[in-house]
Each structure stands twice: as C-alpha cells, then as structure tokens.
Amino acid sequence: MEVAIYNIKGTATAQQVMLDDSVFAIEPNDHAIYLDVKQYLANQRQGTHSSLEKSVVSGSTKKLHKQKGTGGSRKGSIKNPLYRGGARIFGPQPRDYSFKLNKKLKKLARKSALSYKIKDEQLTILENFSFETPKTKNFTELMKNFQLVGKKVLLVVASPDENIILAARNLKRVKVMNAAELNTYDILNATRLLITEGSIKEIEKIHQN
C-alpha cells in the first residue's frame, strides 16, 4: 500500500512510500498480541516480593500449652499465623515471572499491532529529520503540528539521534525508539505511532518472512 509522507510541520509532502502488505496489512492475530503483551509485562516484574513464613518469623517455638485437656484448640507456638505478629500463610515469595515465546509468534504479534495502527489511522510516516539543538520546545512544536499534545506518542527512528532523544526526554507521554527495539506493547500503548521514512526498511527487514 502507498502512504503519504509528512514533514515535521504536519503537512503532507508530494512523496509517498510503499509499505509491505505482509508487515503492515495482515489479518491481525489477537491471541498472538495477548501472549506477547503478557510476556512483556511479566518480564518487567522484579519478583522480589517476600513475606515472613513460620520458618522465618522471629519468636519462640515453645508449645503454648499441652495438646489436650484445655478445652481449646491445638497451638504449636507463638508464631502461629492465627496470632497477632505471627507468620503469614502461603505468602508471596521471590520468583521469576518471565517466560519464553517463539520468535515467529512475537514477530506475528508486532505485525498484527502495526496492521491495527494502519487500520485505525493511528500511524503516520515522517520524512527523515533531526533537530539542530536538543531542546524540548523543538519536539513540543512537532507535537503541536500534529495536534498530539498530551497524547501518548511513539516515535520510531532508524538509528539513535541524540538531539531527538534529548528533546523528547522531558515529555512524559512521548517515547523515542529505534526500529530494531520495536515491541508490541509500545505500539499498542501509543495513541499515535510516528515512523520515520528511514526506519521502514529496517522494520520490514526484521518482520518479513
């Protein structure tokens, strides 16, 4: 498919770019998207949560009273979870939440996410650009030109550009990413996806079968 190329002033240029339908116009696979996003979020978890169980909590292990004849329930020690200050029953322990996915499935999920963005008209192709100085107002001006101020924006560039990265660093809802780092979660999390012309070939190269 052919898509118009915009400049950073927010106006369409006379040029168009041909997007590979096998990457940007496939039938989206929702289950692949679900699994890839689930893995991404799981991998962000530190898993350092911990609670005090009976073997860890401090306290005497002396039996509080004899087993039988008191009319009360059996009590092994003051560390009993039923007592105030006692241990916790089946509390969370440190664990690794990460899990692996097939590379082809992850590739399918990213292509599905890109296809959704095209279908929903939330993807814009920008001509290659750079800022002379790394000032936040430069990126803010770009956001104003596309009426994206206050919205979640993901800018995908072909290679790291320090001026662009520094200009967007202080904007909370803006993220700049290299084409090679593109992932399903960030694609779907953005209200608008901005892709520079130079990064298209890199994206298609990675995701072509």
Q: What is the pLDDT of residue 68?
A: 93
189 with 202, same domain: the answer is: yes
91 with 160, same domain: the answer is: no
Residue 179 in this model has a pLDDT that exceeds 80: yes
Instruction: Report how many domains make up the chain.
Output: 2
Q: What is the pLDDT of residue 209?
A: 63
Q: What is the pLDDT of residue 98?
A: 95
Over the stretch 69-117, which tens digit does the pLDDT of each residue have? 999 888 889 999 988 989 999 999 999 999 999 999 999 999 999 999 9
How does residue 37 score in pLDDT terms, banded at 50, 70 and 90? very high
Burial 113-132 (b: 16+ CB within 10 A, else e): bbbbbbeeeebbbbeeeebe
Rounded to an integer, the average pLDDT of 35-63 is 94
88 with 115, same domain: the answer is: no
Residue 142 in this model has a pLDDT that exceeds 80: yes
158 with 173, same domain: the answer is: yes
Burial zone of 95 (CB within 10 Å; 0-12 exposed, 13-18 middle, 19+ buried):
exposed
81 with 170, same domain: the answer is: no
Q: What is the pLDDT of residue 119?
A: 95
CATH number of the domain that 187 lies in? 3.40.1370.10
Burial zone of 48 (CB within 10 Å; 0-12 exposed, 13-18 middle, 19+ buried):
exposed
Last residue of a domain, one of 66, 96, 126: 96
Cβ neighbours for 26, distance < 8 A, ≥ 6 positions apart: 111, 112, 115
30 with 66, same domain: the answer is: no
The conformation of residue 179, written as its DSSP 8-state character, comes to G
Q: Which of 35, 178, 193 is nearest to 115 (CA)?
A: 193
Higher-scoring residue by pLDDT: 73, 154: 154
Last residue of a domain, one of 96, 131, 166: 96
124 with 40, same domain: the answer is: yes
126 with 202, same domain: the answer is: yes
116 with 179, same domain: the answer is: yes
Q: What is the pLDDT of residue 145?
A: 95
107 with 128, same domain: the answer is: yes
Give dist(CA 54, CA 110) in Å, integer.
46
64 with 116, same domain: the answer is: no
Give dist(CA 92, CA 95) in Å, integer.
9
The tokens for 26 are 């496939």
Residue 51's domain comprises 47-96
111 with 160, same domain: the answer is: yes
Q: Which of 39, 79, 32 is nearest to 60 (CA)?
A: 79
Last residue of a domain, one of 33, 66, 96: 96
Tell me what the pLDDT averaged over the chain comes to.
94
